[in-house]
Amino acid sequence: MDPLTQGLLGAVASQALFTKRLGRWAGLIGFVAGVAPDLDVLWTDPSDPVHGFVYHRHITHALFVIPFGGALMALAFLFVPRLRKRRRWVVAAATVGWATHGLLDACTSYGTQLLLPFSNARIAWDILPIVDLFFTPLLLVGVGIAAWRRKPRAARIALAIAGLYACCGIWMHARALSAQRVIADSRGHVVERSRAMPAPGTLVLWRSIYVHDGAMYADGVRTPYVGETLVRPGTSHPLAAFEGGTAEAERVFDAFAWFSDGFVGVVESESPRVVADMRYSTESHDFAPLWGIRYGAEGPDNWSTTGRDGYAGRLLRLLLDGDPAWHPLRELRSVGPSGQKTQAVEHDEHGAALVPEDAEDQRE
């Protein structure tokens, strides 16, 4: 999540629990502690193109570090004379604020190393966008009212609604994965691994991406709050593999592939060779990546595109005006080996194929 949302969640959680003990200080302590884990961005190595990918959302985001991080952040506030007598509550507020950071990051799609130092697995639940047009304003209103009235009620209400919104994200994510199974079934594909990720700004638009037989397949999925699921069948792109080179070049490739959850592909329009993170694209149904690694004559280096420009306008038009390229999930047709479309295959709400009654009679 963006730093503002991280700070607001830390503030509203601290206000909900400690306003009666700390007054307006509860929100400030929670905000600062909620942002603090992202200070790992200051630890950079310009000579290493994957340093930021590997070490951002690293140890400062781990569950193991929460009590230590909270205690460290509390020290700064204990220089305030009026807070010294309430040091236990200051430490508690800072710890709660710190704890919200890694957990909120894990709700997004980037992945957070919550289990360090025991595992470097990137935990990503894919249930909230990296920037959300509802979640952040909700927290801002709750923090503002709680600070103004010096009462925890508004913070508690905002925190409860935020929790319900996250639960809505779980439901929407399940719908997107269900649609993904229907899409793959209609193509006769076996899904080897997959992700369904909310587009920045909303829980209504999702990017489905899965791997089958050495290629990635991307499709758009819309999950309206009211109404049936819509899909936009997309394109495919071959998975990239390391093509040889120095040990340093292989280390960079392996680190970037780990960060990208294995969804890496070559950007065919770029030269020298660019290996990109195909999880993210300017369009949910296509492969127009945002960042990657360029393998030039001087060695690997960072690559990015400006293709994200205009995204907000495109998203707004899609949500308000619709797009004829999107079709109800139930209308999906399976495609045979000859490329001809066959009879539509109906699926239940869980994505399982429904067998027509006459087909059952023929089997009998």
pLDDT tens digits, 24-41 = 999 999 999 999 999 998
Q: Give the residue-averaged pLDDT of 12-34.
A: 97
222 CB contacts (<8 Å, ≥6 apart)?
204, 205, 206, 229, 230, 231, 232, 326
3-state secondary structure at position 3: helix
| Residue 1: pLDDT band with limits 50, 70, 90 | confident
363 located within any domain: no
Mean pLDDT of the region 138-145: 96
Helix (H) or strand (E) holding 208: strand 205-212
Q: Which residue has the higher pLDDT, 167 or 356?
A: 167
Per-residue model confidence (pLDDT) at position 306: 64
Q: How does DSSP assign 253-293, residue by residue?
A: HHHHHHHTTT-EEE-TT-SSEEEEETT-BSSTTS--BSEEE
**For residue 80, how many other CB atoms are within 10 A of its CB?**
11
Looking from the CA of 195 toward its CB, the CA atoms found within 13 Å total: 22
Mean pLDDT of the 347-352 span: 42
The answer on 187 and 274 residing in a single domain is yes
How many domains does the chain fold into? 2
In a domain, 174, yes or no: no
Burial of 336 (0-12, 13-18, 19+ CB in 10 A): exposed
Tell me whether residue 257 is in a domain: yes
Question: Domain boundary at 304, 325, 342, which?
Answer: 304
Question: Does residue 298 lie within any of the structural domains?
Answer: yes
Provide the residue range defining the domain that includes 81.
3-125
- Same domain, yes or no, for 13 and 90? yes
DSSP-assigned letter for residue 199: P
137 domain-assigned: no
Residue 11 near residue 33, CB atoms below 8 Å: no
Locate all alpha helices (DSSP H) within the chain, ordered by sequence: 3-22, 25-35, 51-55, 66-77, 81-84, 87-106, 135-149, 153-187, 247-259, 311-321, 357-363
pLDDT of residue 44: 83
- Predicted confidence band at 283 (pLDDT cuts at 50, 70, 90)? confident
183 and 289 both lie in a single domain: yes
Question: pLDDT band at 346, cuts 50/70/90?
Answer: very low
Tokens of 124: 């990503």
The answer to whether 104 and 6 have CB atoms below 8 angstroms apart is: yes
Residue 309 lies in a domain: no
Residue 87 in any domain: the answer is yes
- What percent of the chain has a predicted confidence (pLDDT) above 90? 73
Burial status of residue 322 (CB atoms within 10 A of its CB: 0-12, 13-18, 19 or more): exposed
Q: Which of 304, 326, 344 is the last residue of a domain?
A: 304
Domain membership of residue 64 (yes or no) is yes
pLDDT surpasses 90 at 312: no
Which of the listed residues 304, 326, 347 is the one where a domain comes to its end?
304
